[in-house]
Amino acid sequence: MYAVVSSGGKQYKVQKGEILRVEKISGDIGAPVSFDKVLMFSDGENVNIGQPVLENVSVNGHIVEQDKAKKIIVFKYKKRKRYRRTQGHRQQYTAVKIDNIAQNS
């Protein structure tokens, strides 16, 4: 059984027990999280595709970790002008453990 959910402008394929890294969601560690924008759901036999979302399916989990990703370096450079700018960025993310995928009839 799996589902495709939308969070933070991205789409993720999730299964029960999986740990998912999504864009930052506010909340403490252990706080429950519910993904209501379920785009697709499969129970192994049947596949349901939303137009655009499925109303009767929800994906529930809890927050495992709040952290920052590895640093990326942004470097601007203009030739022959002695112009160089270096800037670093660390994107915040939330790790969510998927507890269950519930289909409400």
Return the percentage of the chain with pLDDT > 90, whole number: 96
Q: Domains of the chain: which residue ranges?
A: 2-103
| pLDDT, mean over the chain | 96
| Residues 23 and 8 sit within 8 Å (Cβ to Cβ) | yes
Hey, what are 104's tokens? 């409400």
DSSP per residue over the chain, as a string?
-EEEEEETTEEEEEETT-EEEEE-----TT-EEEE--EEEEE-SS-EEEEEEEESSEEEEEEEEEEEE---EEEEEEETTTTEEEEEEE--EEEEEEEEEEEE--
pLDDT at 105: 65
pLDDT at 104: 82
pLDDT in tens, 23-60: 999 999 999 999 999 999 999 899 999 999 999 999 99
